Structure 1
Amino acid sequence: MENLSKKFGKTLNLDKLTSYCPGCGHGIVTRLVAEAIENLGIMERTIAVVGIGCGGFSHHYMDIDAIEATHGRSPSFAEGYKLAMPENIVFTYAGDGDTSAIGLGDLLHAANKGMPITTIMVNNTVFGMTGGQMSPTTLEGQVTTTTVKGREVPRQGYPLLVPEMMRSMEGVKYLARETVANPRGIRRAKKSIQKAFECQVKGLGYAFVEVIVPCPTGFKMKVKDSYTHCAENMVEYFKPQVFKDETEQGDVA
C-alpha cells in the first residue's frame, strides 16, 4: 500500500476495497476527482457532499472530509457549508437519479445562484443502486426494470439534458459534459473535472461537470458491451462538450 500511495498520490484512500460493481464508471470518475484535488494541492481544505446512491460511496475512497446529504439535497447542503466556511473547497458528487430527479430543483437554484461550488454528476441513465429503474436521463427505448418495453417519450418524456438547462445562467462559470467510455474520453474528463475545481479555487462561480458512464449491472450487460453501448449510444444523445469555460478569470485563492 505504501508504494501505491507514492505512485498514485495521497488523496486516494488505498486501504479501502471498492464496493462499486465490476466495470462501474464511478470508479474512474472517483479516481479523476481525487487526482484533481491532489494536483491542485487542496486536499486539506476540501469536503465532499455526496448524495444517495452509488455515488454516495465515493468519499470512502478519498482521504477527505465528507457530508452525506439527504436524497437530492447535496447542492443545498453544499451552499450552507460554503457560506459557513468560504475558504474551503466544497463539491457535490451524485448520480443522475439523485441529481436530476428529486434533486433537480436544488441543483438548478444552486447553479443559478452562482456560488463557487463544484458539482460532479455521474450519469449512467438508471437508478443503479436500487435495481436499475428508469431515471430522468434514461434513453428513449432503453429497457429498465420500470420500462420493460423501453422508455416511451409519449408516456415518460424525453431524457433530461441537464447542462443545456444551465447554459444561460450567469452564475455558471464552467459547464461541461464528458464521458469515460474510452481513453480519449477519460483524458477529456480529467481536464474538465480539474477545471471545475480550479473555477472554485479562483472564486469565479458555479462549476458543473456531467460524466457519462456505463452501468453493467443496471444495463444487464457484460462490462465490455456496456462500454460499447456507452461509447456508441449514450454519447450520441448526451454529446460530450464544454458549454462554458470562464476559468481563465480571477486570482487563485
Structure 2
Amino acid sequence: MNAEFNGIISPENLVYKKPELMNEVPMHYCPGCSHGVVHKLIGEVIEEMEMEEKTVGVSPVGCAVFAYRYLDIDWQEAAHGRAPAVATGIKRLWPDRLVFTYQGDGDLACIGTAETIHALNRGENIVIIFINNAIYGMTGGQMAPTTLLGQKTATCPYGRDAELHGYPIKITEIAAQLEGTCYVTRQSVESVASIRSAKRAIRKAFEASMAGKGSSLVEIVSTCSSGWKLSPVKANEWMKNNMFPFYPKGDLKDKTSE
C-alpha cells in the first residue's frame, strides 16, 4: 500500500512495510479475517498524523479484545459494549488525545447500543470503528443484531426469521441521523481499492475528532470465515453478494468541511 513504484515493478517495490506501531506478535485472528488489515490501517494513519504518543484506543469484549497486543499505543479495556462511555471519559479528561473505540457488531449494536447511540448523539469528539461481520465470531458464531435475514448461525440454524428474530439493524444509518455525528461512513477491506478507501475514511474521522467537529463512525463490513464456515475466498464472495446489497458502502454523512 505504501510502495513507491516509479514506473518500475520490482520485488523491492512490491514489499509492504508494516507500520512501526505494529508489534512483532503473531496475530490470533483466523485466516482471511478483516481485523488484521484494519489494525494496519489504523497504525498507518496514526503514524502519518504523528499521533503515536497521543492516541488512546478502547477495546471491549469480542474478537477485537486483544487489539492492544498488536498496536503499540495506549489502550484501555472496557466492559462488554461500554467502550463509547469509556472513550467519552478519556476524551473529556484529555481533549488533546486522539481517542477511538474498536468494536464488533455484537458488542456495539447489541450489548452496547445505548452507549453507542448516546455518545454519538452527544457529539463526543471520539471515533468509533465498527467491524460488522454479521455474527458473534469469538463466542461460537451466534446470531448478531446485524445477521442477515436467512443467514444461518449457531442460534438460528434454519436462518434468521424476521417474525421470530426481528430484522437486522443498520446502526450506521441510525448514526447518520443523529445531530452529534459529523462523519458516518461504511467501508470494507476485501480489495486494494477498498483498503485505500477505508484508510482515507479512518484518516478523515481521526482528523475530524482532533478538530472538535463531533463524533465519527466508521463501519467496516467484514468477513468471518470461521463463523460463516467458508474459505476466505468464498467468504469474500458471500460478503459481496449478500452483505453489500444490504449494507451499501460509501459515506452516509460528511459535515467535516463545515
TM-score, L = length of structure 1: 0.93
1:67 maps to what in 2? Answer: 76
Question: Of 136, 160, 170, which residue of structure 2 is paired with 1:161?
Answer: 170
Structure 1's 183 and 7: CA in aligned 2 closer, same or farther, altered over 3 A?
closer
Greater displacement, 173-182 / 89-98? 173-182
Give yes or no for contact 2:175–2:217 (8 Å, CA) kept in 1.
Answer: no
Point out the structure with the larger helix share.
Answer: 1
2:17 maps to what in 1? Answer: 7
Question: Of 29, 34, 42, which residue of structure 1 is paired with 2:38?
Answer: 29
1:58 maps to what in 2? Answer: 67
> CA RMSD for the aligned pairs?
1.2
Give yes or no for contact 1:51–1:69 (8 Å, CA) kept in 2.
Answer: yes
Q: How does 1:136-215 map to 2 (within 5 A)?
A: 136-215=145-224
Mapped partners of 2:219, 2:244: distance in 1: 12
Q: Shift of residue 183 of structure 1?
A: 2.4
1:3 maps to what in 2? Answer: none
2:87 maps to what in 1? Answer: 78
Q: Find runs of 4+ consecutive structure 1 residues off by over 3 angstroms.
A: none
Q: Shift of residue 247 of structure 1?
A: 2.2
Mapped partners of 1:231, 1:190: distance in 2: 19
Structure 1 spans left out of the alignment, 5+ residues: 1-5
1:122 maps to what in 2? Answer: 131
Give yes or no for contact 1:117–1:207 (8 Å, CA) kept in 2.
Answer: yes
- Residues paired across the two proteins, number: 243
1:221 maps to what in 2? Answer: 230
Query: SS where residue 121 of structure 1 aligns?
Result: strand
Matched letter for residue 168 of structure 1: Q
Identity of aligned residues (%): 41
Mapped partners of 1:142, 1:8: distance in 2: 35
Partner deviation per Cα, 1:195-252 (whole Å, 9 max, x = no partner): 1111112111101101001000000111110011112211110001101112234xxx
Q: Shift of residue 34 of structure 1?
A: 1.2
Give yes or no for contact 2:19–2:40 (8 Å, CA) kept in 1.
Answer: no
Structure 2 spans left out of the alignment, 5+ residues: 1-15
Mapped partners of 2:172, 2:17: distance in 1: 34
Q: Shift of residue 193 of structure 1?
A: 1.1
Mapped partners of 2:135, 2:207: distance in 1: 30
Query: SS where residue 38 of structure 1 aligns?
Result: helix
Query: SS where residue 8 of structure 1 aligns?
Result: coil
2:47 maps to what in 1? Answer: 38
1:90 maps to what in 2? Answer: 99
Query: SS where residue 66 of structure 1 aligns?
Result: strand
Mapped partners of 1:88, 1:143: distance in 2: 41
Partner deviation per Cα, 1:87-142 (whole Å, 9 max, x = no partner): 11110001000000010000000000001100000000000000100000000000
Matched letter for residue 117 of structure 2: L
TM-score, L = length of structure 2: 0.91
Mapped partners of 1:43, 1:82: distance in 2: 16
Matched letter for residue 224 of structure 1: V
Partner deviation per Cα, 1:14-73 (whole Å, 9 max, x = no partner): x11101111111111111111111111111100100010001122211110101100000
Q: Shift of residue 82 of structure 1?
A: 1.0
Greater displacement, 195-204 / 123-132? 195-204
1:246 maps to what in 2? Answer: 255
2:4 maps to what in 1? Answer: none
Mapped partners of 1:225, 1:138: distance in 2: 18
